[in-house]
Amino acid sequence: MDKVRRIGVLTSGGDAPGMNAAVRAVARTALTYGIECVGIRRGWQGLINTDFVPLTRASVGHLLSRGGTILYTARSKEFMTEEGQRKAASTCKFLGLDSIIAIGGDGTFRGAQALSKHGINVIGIPATIDNDIGCTHYCLGFDTAANTAIECIDKLRDTMQSHERCSVVEVMGRHAGYLAMYVGLATGATAVLVPEHPITNEELIEKIRRARLNGFTHYMIVVAEGSTPAGEVARIIKEATDLDPRVTILGHIQRGGSPNARDRVAATKMGYLAVELLAAGKTNRIVCTHDGGFTDIDMDEGLASRKSMQSMEVNVLAAMTGL
């Protein structure tokens, strides 16, 4: 691989707290290595449209604590076509970009994989509150999003406790239940509904019944958005019990906010590592966490790996809820 001279960095897919901190780390590390750095705005679509902004040490100042992404983000249909990828590759040539660092989730990395076939060096940094990328234990944004959800659920619990009610709270995660399970464990939920370990309606009602037998007078049901819809869960509970559940969909509030310490530090380390890989002549890699440390994996291999929810989480939840 030729010496890297100019890197483009972009954020794509759903935003996640820590994306800005990763952009800052990429730009500052690149400049430390004497490599120029350009921010591509609006994800892969921005690369097609030559939508960019030069990044300097100063221009990425004050980004550590900022939520969202200053580079904007998008989900590009055009980039999913061969023609779109060809256009993006010619923008890279036009801007003199030999490498792209793509910050986002699974879809973002598939885009990077496609671009690499056009001779561009690519590195992925995992960032999604869903934490559903198979090759990495941790994705940027997850911890901040979990804490946002926890704060909301703690507040809901106060009012549910006063009124002796049942609350059904829907948590994001697309097709995955990692966020819901983590949040459920952290908030002492009566039940957590995740797509990876579905429970029957009877089991759900039994959990509420057992909680009542154990002396509880309010109930918190955490539902992953990829599981049964929260409104439907509330209907099932209402039909089978004397409870009249209140539904709360936490929604996009979980994606906003200033990244917490874990996300700021992880984003800084991942951004640094991404540039280090390129400077060392490596390409087509995903930065990831493994065994508590930061490492990297071949992009094709990383995208082929699957994540599974640990049965320990399910067992711990069962022990906590007495079922």
Q: Which of residues 67-106 bind ligand F6P (CB under 6 A)?
A: 105
CA-angle at 106, arms to 101 and 32, nearest 5°? 15
Comparison of 129 and 149: residue with beta carbon closer to ligand F6P: 129
DSSP 4: P
Residue 128 interacts with ligand F6P (CB under 6 A): yes or no = yes
CB 123 within 8 A of CB 274: yes
Residue 307 interacts with ligand F6P (CB under 6 A): yes or no = no
- For residue 173, list its beta bridge partners: none
Among 17, 111, 173, 257, binds ligand F6P (CB under 6 A): 173
The reply to whether 130 belongs to the active site is: yes
Query: Which residues, at least 6 apart from 55, have a Cβ–Cβ distance to it below 8 Å?
Result: 9, 23, 27, 37, 38, 39
Comparison of 4 and 22: residue with beta carbon closer to ligand F6P: 22
Kindly write out the interface string for residues 130-149 of this chain, putting x where it contacts ligand F6P by CB under 6 A and - elsewhere. x-------------------
Q: How far apart are the first and last CA of the chain?
A: 56
Min separation Cβ 136 and ligand F6P, Å: 15
Q: Which of residues 240-279 bind ligand F6P (CB under 6 A)?
A: 255
Alpha carbon distance 141, 263 (integer Å): 6
Among 174, 235, 238, 282, binds ligand F6P (CB under 6 A): 174
3-state helix, strand, coil in the chain (%, to 5): 45, 20, 35
Among 21, 22, 37, 129, binds ligand F6P (CB under 6 A): 129
Distances from the Cα of 196 to the Cαs of 74, 107, 192, 223, 242, in angstroms? 28, 20, 11, 12, 29
CB 120 within 8 A of CB 278: no
Kindly write out the interface string for residues 11-50 of this chain, putting x where it contacts ligand F6P by CB under 6 A and - elsewhere. ---x------------------------------------
Catalytic residue, from 15, 51, 98, 130: name it.
Answer: 130
Mind telling me the catalytic residues?
130
Q: Which residues bind ligand F6P (CB under 6 A)?
A: 14, 105, 128-130, 172-174, 225, 255
